Structure 1
Amino acid sequence: MKRLAVVFLAAVAACGGTESIDTTTSNLENRADRGQPEPPMAGIHWARGQAKAHGGGSPDLLYHGGPVLTQQSGGAAAVTPIFWGTGWSSDGQNKKGWVDTFYKGMSSSSYESTNTEYTQSGGAHVGTSFSVNAGLTDLSAAPRNGNKTGPILAEVCKMIPTPVANGYYPVYTDLPRGHAGFCAWHSAGTCNGVSVQFAFFFDLDGDPGCDPESPATSYSQGVAALANVSGHELSEALTDPHLNAWYDANGAENSDKCAWTFGAQLLTFTNRSQWKVQGNWSNSGYDGNRGYSDPAKGFVRGCVDGTN
């Protein structure tokens, strides 16, 4: 996601104490509202029509020296979904089950492999798979909006007493997006002295601004919307986990550059589940004049989804 120039300090309860968390992101996005306070988050996955245009220079991602999530025992990342909010006391759409199915199927899939060309210092690539742990539910009230990273990081630290450095903790709330211009975001912070990756998601039921318009009929529109933005955020967490690895001259990460473009109408994952998910930017694809053809936009050079 496009990163914002922010420094935030969050007080996080951990092991009975309070831990200060200082996260800095680079000044990489030229925003029209530069004079106004920036929302304290690493970046955002804009809703349809909300992203600000950037121009000029090479479109390829640039390496900024930070790590990627490389292959370890169990995979490149350890994904543990967190479901936060009083609304999760019931789950008539089986969103929790479908989120689990999505992540398990994405691991080792052709879609996940669109991230693996990116490397860190020393040449290690993004891993080809990741592990998925059982989701956790917190029925306390979630914050009223998703404009701050601090409360989301605090929730991760509360729910994950023993985090791991390759952990990715997506937090799914019961909050509708309302007038916010974004669907989700990802960031990085520290829990108990361990660096972690985490993300925030609105409830996207009936939200046309965050709807991929999936033709799938096995699950609800809200599930389909969460799946698309989940693929976006995890792809960025794999290739830019600490917000200092791969992004272009304007601060756009690999999924930002292909947001709201789609190749195959449905991607088939390793567990045979099918999802409409946007592609990811490939430097090698762009340089080799590869990309998919979006029915609405035509040929999208540089965007790949594992089928092209």
Structure 2
Amino acid sequence: MHLRLHRTLVLTVAATLGMMAFAEAPEVIHHRLNGNEGGPHASFGAAPTAGSTSALTSPLKNYGGQVMTTPTVYVIWYGNWAQGNGTDTASGQQIVTDFFNTIGGSPYFNIQQTYPGSGITGNVNYGGATTVAYPYGASLSDANIQSIVSDAITGGHLPNDATGLYFVLTSSDVNEASGFCSQYCGWHTHGTIAGSNHRYGFIGNAARCITSCAAQSVGPNGNAGVDGMVSVLAHELEEATTDPDIATWKTRRGAENGDSCAWTFGTTYLTANGAYANMKLGTRDFLIQRNVTFRSTGQYCALVK
């Protein structure tokens, strides 16, 4: 089945080819990523790359597709999230749950409100989660990801929600064979599930390839792999909100808002455990990439609107 999908490029490739990395939306499953711009990323142990404060030279344009005015996020925990490795754990899952429960209405996600005429509220609803082991093994294909989402919906484990955004989050012993860790850290797309169009995505535990899919080796919440996942989740969440069907807000080369600001973090601060963070959501500190905000003087990568 032919699908369009959009992926978050890995950090190591971004460092080689450009800091504000983006990938043009592939036309079909397994299409390789291409296209990058920017400068190198900071090395581990140094402050994460702040990024340029200048207006974007490749601005986003609305191509007339839909947006998700208030996405409802559902999580499918795939693999073994009860391991003794310090990352695939219940406390790691809680970091993600807390992120989804606090991101909506935050100064960061209210950036989405600045997209002209979109009607995006800046709110996010967390709709719940389900857990599966390894029904498709520990090496997944893009098609497997859609099947995992379909199984969760048709099996009654998650609601069949036309406004939903379904994320398959894998433990660190699971690979996504189309390029996780080597070409991308996560992706979002859409496809027909249970007879209607559904939006969904994949993000793997960054601990599988910490130097490729996380900006630092120590996370502000004490779990570098899951803390790294959260920034990728933010990237895919903001892209799926503004461009859920790969047909709305993007540049002429196909880059979405998350791509234009990828691996740049603005002003950061040190947390008690020596990790860098750039925002507090609820009671937690997070290091989350910037997003494109619209202002009267142009479009900018920023942490607030």
1:189 corresponds, among 188, 191, 200, to: 191
Equivalent residue in structure 2 for 1:280, among 291, 294, 304: 291
> Structure 1 residues 59, 223: closer, same or farther in 2, change over 3 A?
same
The structure 1 residue matched to 2:239, chosen from 236, 239, 254, is: 236
1:226 maps onto 2:229 in alignment: yes
Aligned equivalent of 1:127: 121
* Matched residue SS, 2:11: coil
Q: Deviations over 1:223-271 (max 9, x none)?
A: 1111110100000010001111110011000000000111132343442
Asked if structure 2 preserves the Cα contact closer than 8 Å seen for 1:169 and 1:199, the reply is: yes
Aligned twin of 2:145: 152
Aligned residues of 1:183 and 1:204 also touching (Cα < 8 A): yes
- Give me the whole-angstrom Cα distance separating, in 1, the residues matched to 2:217 and 2:284: 13
Mind listing any 5+ residue stretches in structure 2 that lack a counterpart?
A: 14-20, 22-34, 39-55, 269-276
Query: Which of 73, 89, 94 in structure 1 is aligned with 2:91?
Result: 94
2:95 aligned partner, one-letter code: W
Q: Which residue of 2 aligns with 1:261?
A: 264
Give me the whole-angstrom Cα distance separating, in 2, the residues matched to 1:108 and 1:189: 28
Cα 1:221–1:179 shift into 2, 3 Å: closer
Which runs of structure 2 are paired with 1:286-301 in the superposition (5 Å)? Answer: 288=297
TM-score, with length taken from structure 2: 0.73
Cα distance change on mapping 1:249 and 1:289 into 2, 3 Å: closer
Say which structure, 1 or 2, has more relative contact order (CA 8 Å, 6+ apart): 2
CA contact 2:12–2:211 (8 Å) conserved in 1? no
Aligned ranges for residues 1-308 of structure 1 at < 5 Å?
9=1, 22-23=2-3, 25=4, 42-50=5-13, 51=21, 52-53=35-36, 58-70=57-69, 76-85=70-79, 87-90=80-83, 91-92=88-89, 94-119=91-116, 123-142=117-136, 144-145=138-139, 148-161=141-154, 162-174=159-171, 175-176=174-175, 180-205=182-207, 207-213=210-216, 216-265=219-268, 266-282=277-293, 284-285=294-295, 288=297, 302-306=300-304
SS in structure 2 at match of 1:229: helix
Report the CA distance shift for 1:68/1:216 in structure 2 as closer, same or farther (over 3 A).
same
**Alpha-carbon distance between aligned partners in 1 of 2:115 and 2:195, rounded to the nearest angstrom:** 27
Q: What is the TM-score of this pair, normalised by structure 1?
A: 0.72
Relative distance call for 1:304 and 1:195 in structure 2 (3 A) is same
Q: Which runs of 4+ in 1 moved over 6 A?
A: none
